[in-house]
């Protein structure tokens, strides 16, 4: 059973500028920010729902719908460009048959682009959830996903 | 005496990205006795060697690169030692890449567990804070002013002057905000400090807060750095436990707390006013200046904003026997600069050195040329808003002044190498595309001009000789520069200008 969203929000209400940490906390616990969450956040932070949505939609990380269990972020910044990250992006979109920002039907994979993971000396770099992979290739990414699955099951 | 054999396996993003964590799991499982200890050290910043594993025995420490190596066939620790010895272990501190540097700010990275506070203290850690508490705020600021330190985040503003401004404000509440939203492509020096020497940042923040009269500090950390988040969270707790943060720090009347705030994937939030908006819980829209954040910043209070490396430099430069920091360099290019060499380069990594070394020394000396073996074609300096230099310009010195003359900047010190497969028209287009994606949307030229910029460059890619489009691009860039509130719009034209000027006929044919 997922944690109650009101309890998730509670520690941040009295914090100055607590909305950002509250949004992160909701998303970390519940996967995305739902309509109900927005209503609760607006009440908790004494502002309109529009203002909450305003903040959510500015930031790439926040999402209003469920997303893949594995978020694969492919770096497209300059250092990785010099290491053929565009080709890697093309390989991955074709391998998973997904566009950028698209999630697979089984909610397993979401592909996203990102600009710099700070791993610039050993690109191209890809981040799978919280793990950065250097000198990334489709094979490396697939074997990481596979070993992650084995570890969890 | 500790005669345990120590195995050092780095725990740092780049090392882990090429297998350090997996090797740690394997080696850990081989250890059956207590005579051997594994230490998860930071990285030395010589990333082509990662995962670089070292063994220290009888006072001798040697290491080996385990890149692309699978050790899962090993059954005993003895087998690992045999394997290790076969790979010609060497002393990383003696390689040219390290000895040619002048590591003052990054002097600790790689040596030990970054959360080992005893090691930090044994290397003069927290001495600067204690001496600052003795000499008082004004003398501390004076010393930073005299040092000539300028901000390492990108704008190179004199750090001491900014501190004085905040110090001079008559307000009972002041803030310190550490900008750890290191978003420039090709940069990782902030990350390396936070992961491999986090106490240096905490000490620097405590000194800066004491000097300006702030009792609360924020670190605004980008969400792309989860390992840095782990290290900072733990380091803050340890610092509190040891009374380097919290109330009555080291028996003084100085109170200071640090709160970690995580960004959410927005480049423009690295701009200081957008960062403040984000910390306050809003969209990262840029604010107009004045008022300066030093006068009216976070939550409408005077706020000192510095980036990670700037703050982490303060403890080192306050140590009296390291005052040679200020003796290095001239004009604005004083002290050392942590350059970050990356892209298509054989030996990429963290290079802390004086500013006045040539690009040639950087790319060929430290970097040993391209990884692909093909000739260098372009080098971008200073992140997405920095200029591209051609391979004929390798004699350029990396000082703030010399890059300013070329209408570029050192920025946050990122240096990205491209070989001759790069398409410079595509790089010019990317400058505009990046602005489309990351503009906060407040200023029209940045929000809409960048979209038009992409279109114009696409037309030029089809017809390099279009005078009309060349002129239009020129005018558009001028408008962006003149009418944007922040550097995002104001400096997006920089890479484009440099491509037009230094790479004739690659974007525009005259």
Strand order in B303-307's β-sheet? Answer: B257-262, B216-221, B175-180, B303-307
In sequence order, which ranges of B319-423 are alpha helices (DSSP H)? Answer: 359-360, 400-405
Whether A24 maps to a domain, the answer reads yes
Point out which residues pair with B337 in neighbouring strands. B353
CB A114 to CB B418 under 8 A? Answer: no
Q: Tell me, what's the ipTM?
A: 0.97
- What pLDDT score does A1 carry? 40
Whether residue B250 is found in the same domain as residue B263: yes
What's the per-residue H, E or C state across B235-280?
HHHHHHHCCCCECCHHHCCCCEEEEEEECCCCHHHHCHHHHHHHHC
Q: Which residue has the tokens 């489709």?
A: A138
Alpha carbon distances (Å) from B164 to B161, B177, B206, B314, B480: 5, 16, 16, 15, 32
Q: Which of A21, A121, A131 sits opposite B349 (nearest CB)?
A: A121
Whether residue A147 is found in the same domain as residue A78: yes
Name the pairing type of β-strands B52-57 and B60-65. Answer: antiparallel
Whether residue B211 is found in the same domain as residue B221: yes
Whether residue B294 is found in the same domain as residue B379: no
Terminus-to-terminus CA distance in chain B, angstroms?
73
Name the pairing type of β-strands B333-334 and B329-330. Answer: antiparallel
Beta strands in B86-240 (DSSP E): 175-180, 216-221
Do residues A41 and A52 touch, judged by C-beta distance below 8 A?
A: yes
How many domains, in total, are found in chain A?
2
* Cα dihedral A32, A38, A39, A43 sign: positive
d(CA A30, CA B264): 16
Task: Give residue-wise pLDDT tens across range B337-384.
Answer: 999 999 999 999 999 999 999 999 999 999 999 999 999 999 999 999
The range of the structural domain enclosing residue A104 comes to 70-152
Whether B204 maps to a domain, the answer reads yes
Chain B interface includes A61 (CB < 8 A)? yes
The mean predicted confidence, pLDDT, of chain B is 96
Terminus-to-terminus CA distance in chain A, angstroms?
19
Task: State both tokens at B436.
Answer: 């489309």
Q: Which of B187, B278, B438 sits opposite A118 (nearest CB)?
A: B187
Partners of A125 on chain B (C-beta within 8 Å) are 17
d(CA B363, CA A118): 19
CA dihedral (B63, B120, B151, B219) in degrees, to 10, reads 110
- What pLDDT score does B2 carry? 58
Whether A64 maps to a domain, the answer reads no
Task: Give residue-wise pLDDT tens across range B422-464.
Answer: 999 999 999 999 999 999 999 999 999 999 999 999 999 999 9
CB B47 to CB A121 under 8 A? Answer: yes
The range of the structural domain enclosing residue B59 comes to 5-94
How many domains, in total, are found in chain B?
4
Helix (H, G, I), strand (E, B) or coil at B450: helix
**pTM of whole model > 0.95?**
yes
Q: Which of B14, B261, B434 sits opposite A119 (nearest CB)?
A: B14
Interface contacts (A, B; CB < 8 Å): 149
Domain of A146: which CATH number? 3.40.30.10
Question: Low-confidence residues of chain A, pLDDT below 70?
Answer: 1-3, 151-153
Whether A65 maps to a domain, the answer reads no
Beta strands in B83-198 (DSSP E): 175-180
Whether residue A38 is found in the same domain as residue A84: no
Task: Give residue-wise pLDDT tens across range B54-84.
Answer: 999 999 999 999 999 999 999 999 999 999 9
Task: State both tokens at B438.
Answer: 């990351």
Q: Please give chain B's pLDDT, 510 residues, in tens.
A: 457 899 999 999 999 999 999 999 999 999 988 789 999 999 999 999 999 999 999 999 999 999 999 999 999 999 999 999 999 999 999 999 999 999 999 999 999 999 999 999 999 999 999 999 999 999 999 999 999 999 998 889 999 999 999 999 999 999 999 999 999 999 999 999 999 999 999 999 999 999 999 999 999 999 999 999 999 999 999 999 999 999 999 999 999 999 999 999 999 999 999 999 999 999 999 999 999 999 999 999 999 999 999 999 999 999 966 558 889 999 999 999 999 999 999 999 999 999 999 999 999 999 999 999 999 999 999 999 999 999 999 999 999 999 999 999 999 999 999 999 999 999 999 999 999 999 999 999 999 999 999 999 999 999 999 999 999 999 999 999 999 999 999 999 999 999 999 999 999 998
CB B224 to CB A127 under 8 A? Answer: yes
CB B261 to CB A20 under 8 A? Answer: yes
What residues 178-217 of chain B have any CB closer than 8 A to a CB of chain A? 182-188, 191
Whether B48 maps to a domain, the answer reads yes
Whether B106 maps to a domain, the answer reads no
Chain B interface includes A81 (CB < 8 A)? yes
d(CA B274, CA B421): 36
Whether residue A47 is found in the same domain as residue A14: yes
Do residues B239 and B202 touch, judged by C-beta distance below 8 A?
A: yes
CB A80 to CB B283 under 8 A? Answer: no
CA angle A96, A123, B25 (to 5 degrees): 85
């Amino acid at each position: 059973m997922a944690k109650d969203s009101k309890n998730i929000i509670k520690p941040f209400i009295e914090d100055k500028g607590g909305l950002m940490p509250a949004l992160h906390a909701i998303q970390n616990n519940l996967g995305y920010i739902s309509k109900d969450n927005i209503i609760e956040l607006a009440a908790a932070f004494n502002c309109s729902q529009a203002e909450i949505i305003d903040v959510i939609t500015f930031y790439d990380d926040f999402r209003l719908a469920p997303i893949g269990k594995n978020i694969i972020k492919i770096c497209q910044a300059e250092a990785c460009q010099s290491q053929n990250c565009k080709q890697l992006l093309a390989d991955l979109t074709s391998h998973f048959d997904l566009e950028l920002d698209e999630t697979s039907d089984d909610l397993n994979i979401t592909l996203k682009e990102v600009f710099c993971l700070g791993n610039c000396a050993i690109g191209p770099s890809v981040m799978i959830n919280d793990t950065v992979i250097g000198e990334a290739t489709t094979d490396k990414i697939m074997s990481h996903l596979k070993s992650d699955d084995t570890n969890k099951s | 005496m500790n005669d345990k054999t120590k195995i050092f396996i780095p725990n740092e993003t780049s090392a882990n990205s090429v297998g350090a964590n997996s090797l740690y799991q394997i080696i850990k499982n081989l250890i059956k006795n207590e005579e051997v200890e594994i230490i998860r050290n930071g990285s030395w910043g010589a990333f082509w060697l990662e995962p670089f594993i070292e063994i220290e025995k009888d006072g001798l420490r040697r290491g080996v690169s385990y890149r692309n190596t699978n050790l899962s066939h090993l059954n005993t620790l003895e087998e690992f030692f045999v394997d290790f010895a076969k790979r010609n272990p060497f002393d990383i501190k003696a390689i040219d890449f390290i000895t040619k540097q002048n590591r003052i700010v990054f002097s600790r990275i790689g040596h030990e567990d970054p959360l080992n506070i005893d090691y930090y203290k044994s290397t003069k850690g927290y001495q600067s804070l204690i001496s600052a508490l003795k000499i008082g705020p004004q003398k501390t600021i004076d010393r930073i002013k005299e040092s000539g330190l300028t901000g390492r985040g990108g704008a190179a503003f004199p750090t001491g002057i900014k501190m004085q401004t905040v110090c001079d404000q008559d307000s009972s509440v002041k803030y310190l905000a550490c900008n750890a939203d290191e978003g420039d492509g090709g940069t990782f020096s902030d990350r390396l400090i936070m992961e491999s020497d986090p106490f240096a940042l905490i000490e620097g923040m405590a000194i800066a807060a004491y000097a300006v009269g702030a009792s609360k500090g924020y670190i605004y950390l980008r969400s792309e750095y989860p390992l840095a988040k782990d290290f900072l969270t733990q380091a803050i707790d340890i610092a509190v436990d040891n009374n380097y943060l919290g109330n009555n720090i080291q028996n003084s009347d100085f109170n200071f707390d640090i709160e970690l705030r995580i960004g959410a994937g927005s480049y423009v939030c690295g701009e200081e006013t957008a960062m403040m908006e984000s910390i306050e819980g809003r969209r990262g829209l840029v604010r107009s200046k004045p008022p300066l954040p030093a006068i009216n910043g976070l939550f409408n209070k005077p706020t000192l904003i510095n980036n990670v490396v700037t703050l982490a430099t303060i403890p080192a430069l306050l140590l009296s026997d390291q005052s040679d920091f200020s003796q290095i360099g001239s004009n604005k290019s004083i002290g050392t600069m942590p350059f970050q060499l990356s892209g298509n380069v054989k030996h990429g990594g963290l290079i802390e050195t004086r500013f006045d070394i040539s690009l040639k020394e950087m790319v060929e000396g430290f970097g040993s040329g391209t990884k692909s073996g093909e000739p260098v074609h372009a080098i971008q300096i200073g992140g997405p808003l920095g200029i591209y230099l051609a391979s004929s310009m390798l004699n350029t010195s990396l000082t703030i002044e010399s890059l300013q003359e070329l209408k570029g900047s050192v920025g946050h010190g990122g240096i990205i190498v491209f070989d001759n497969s790069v398409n410079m028209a595509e790089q010019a287009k990317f400058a505009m595309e990046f602005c489309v994606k990351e503009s906060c949307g407040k200023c029209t030229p940045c929000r809409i001009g960048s979209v038009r910029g992409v279109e114009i460059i696409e037309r030029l890619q089809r017809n390099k000789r279009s005078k009309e489009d060349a002129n239009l691009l020129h005018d558009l860039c001028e408008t962006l520069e003149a009418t944007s509130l922040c550097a995002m719009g104001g400096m997006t034209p920089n890479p484009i200008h440099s491509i037009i000027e230094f790479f004739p006929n690659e974007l525009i044919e005259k």
